Structure 1
Amino acid sequence: MSHNRSQQHAHEHYHGPAGAYNRIFALGIGLNLIYVLVEAAFGFSINSLALIADAGHNLSDVLGLVLAWGASLLVQRPPTEYRTYGFRKTSIFAALLNAVILLITVGMISFEAIQRLRMPEGTQGGIMIIVAFIGVLVNTATAILFLKERKTDLNIKGAFMHMAADAAVSLGVVASGIIILYTGWERLDPILSLVISLVIVLGTWGLLRESFDLAMDAVPAHIPVQEVIKYLQKLPGVKEVHDLHIWPLSTTETALTVHIVKPDAEVNDELTSRICRELHDKFGIDHPTIQIEKASTSKTCRTSNV
């Protein structure tokens, strides 16, 4: 029986980018916090629910960025005797909490918008246009900060999605301000708030589902399970593959354990090292643990996935 755990890639995502991530998060949080304060102040002063709603949404984004930043710092802490995986999973919990906060914000915005539809109140379209256009610039600039890493980290993906959606929403507020300025149609403000709510829900649902799945140790979406099974079954001399488990360690790292039945099995570090390397290169699995057996033990195992 042979055990092997691939370690050469264990910290691939935490060295190097950490300092850059700190600067990106700090800049993004600073820009958005300043904008939230400005937008909320103008929203209350001109009685614009669209601006107030967007400020509330942006405030939740600031909180989301703080959570994501905190998680990115925690995952860099080394494992301990008690926490053998360290704090890697905090990045998943941060993404999940971020999605929940956004949905709560949606509920608050929608409730207030419905009240305003019944009793519309006056707004100043000119100020709405100016403030919202500043939001377009701030949110677009922040989204660009997270553009590069959004495909490899759910934490970063969440930050990017929110900032990109906010830029689009701010464009909508600009359009609303122009229309109110020239038509005086005040009900457009709460209507736009409901549209903003719908945009947030659509943008958040995928993040909520994916982060919940990862929190429940589901197989990450980018891992093709059947392809992994086929790869293992086609290894020379392999008779059976069983007890395959694949789960996320964090938003960027994936672990795997598997039993491989190989009747001519011998302790062979070269073979297990090759399998670990190919699992990483082909499927992005960072932490495989492989048990090679001469005879199947699947009947004695408590669970079997294959």
Structure 2
Amino acid sequence: MTPPQDSSEHHHSHDHATGSSRPRLAIALALTSTVLIAEVITALLTGSLALLADAGHMLTDSAGLIMALVAAGLAARPATDRSTWGLRRAEVIGAALQAGMLTVVGAVVAVQAVRALIWPSPIEAHGMLIMGAIGLAANAIALVVLAGGRGASLNMRAAFLEVASDALGSVGVILAALTVALTGWHRADAVASLVITALIVPRAAALLRAAMRVLMDFTPEDLDLAEVRRHILEVEHVEALHDLHAWTVASGMPVLTAHVVVRDECLTEGCTEEILDRLQECVAEHFPVRIEHATFQLEPVSHLAHEAQYC
């Protein structure tokens, strides 16, 4: 007798989130690019390291937002026979690249800031203050635009973090400019750069770690696979379980597969539908992660010996 196999899958469209994120990203990119050009010019005229550091963040943000925009477009492309999940993981790769760039820029700025603390240079505070205020206003608008979609994917989360880092940078520039203007303490510029770096780099590193967990097919962090195994084994007629795997294809798309061994007579008596329903209920109702793509292969106990021959 050929070992029976049954599977149950849910197919849902995840294109809405990726599609709706593109206009937000385009608006944020236009704002960031405009301010970037203005900040570079002003930083060169005023000699402000904090403003130049913020321009550096703006540069990586512009590049990051371009990557995010491209990744969102790729992720929205439909699945094909050669790419059965589509290109949804492009948004995770984009997020990893953005986080990596932000971490590198933060390290470079930190080194330059330490040098500026030791050998401070004169700063023209008034131009620095004006540009900081303009940058903050542009970043605030971009943050409002991106805020509604930041939970949609790692890609949007990375884009939001990029712009948030710029907003913090603009606040640092303003505070440093005020300090220099009121007290003449030029090292305030370098101190502001170090504070900005200290706030941003840990968040970028955390985002990079989250993206790498997806790319390495780790089990979703809030899913206890041991608990999943225990619940499945408690389902009536289930005798054993093997090849249990859980991973994340892209943001919001956890996947679970398993080979479930059931009593031989249960398959011949036609109760596979009941077992599959119970397994789907088990995954859907008892775990914090909503797993919409779960596939179960039902196998009779007598098949275990045969499977060992082919593995």
Deviations 1:195-223 (A, max 9, x none): 22222211211101111111111112233
Q: Verify: 1:272 aligned to 2:268, yes or no.
A: no
1:99 touches 1:204 (CA, 8 Å); kept in 2?
yes
Q: SS at the partner of 1:68?
A: helix
1:236 — aligned with what? 236
Structure 1 distance, partners of 2:141, 2:11, is 35
1:132 touches 1:173 (CA, 8 Å); kept in 2?
yes
Structure 2 distance, partners of 1:86, 1:301, is 34
Q: SS at the partner of 1:217?
A: coil
1:3 touches 1:291 (CA, 8 Å); kept in 2?
yes
Deviations 1:246-266 (A, max 9, x none): 111112312111111221542
1:51 — aligned with what? 51
Structure 1 distance, partners of 2:144, 2:266, is 51
Question: Where has structure 1 moved over 4 Å in runs of 4 or more?
Answer: none
Q: SS at the partner of 1:121?
A: coil
Q: RMSD of the alignment, in Å?
A: 2.5
The Cα of 1:55 is off from its aligned counterpart by: 0.9
1:265 touches 1:292 (CA, 8 Å); kept in 2?
no
Q: How many residues are treated as equivalent by the alignment?
A: 300
Paired letter, 1:119: W
Structure 2 distance, partners of 1:8, 1:274, is 19
Which of 278, 293, 297 is residue 304 of structure 2 equivalent to? 297
Identity of aligned residues (%): 29
The Cα of 1:227 is off from its aligned counterpart by: 3.6
Structure 1 unaligned spans of 5+: none
Distance 1:71 1:265, change over 3 A: farther
The Cα of 1:164 is off from its aligned counterpart by: 2.5
Q: Verify: 1:285 aligned to 2:291, yes or no.
A: yes
Structure 2 unaligned spans of 5+: none
Q: Verify: 1:108 aligned to 2:108, yes or no.
A: yes
1:8 — aligned with what? 11
Structure 1 distance, partners of 2:149, 2:231, is 28
1:162 touches 1:203 (CA, 8 Å); kept in 2?
no
Which structure has greater helix proportion? Answer: 2
Query: TM (normalized to structure 2)?
Result: 0.87
Distance 1:138 1:111, change over 3 A: same
1:110 touches 1:197 (CA, 8 Å); kept in 2?
yes
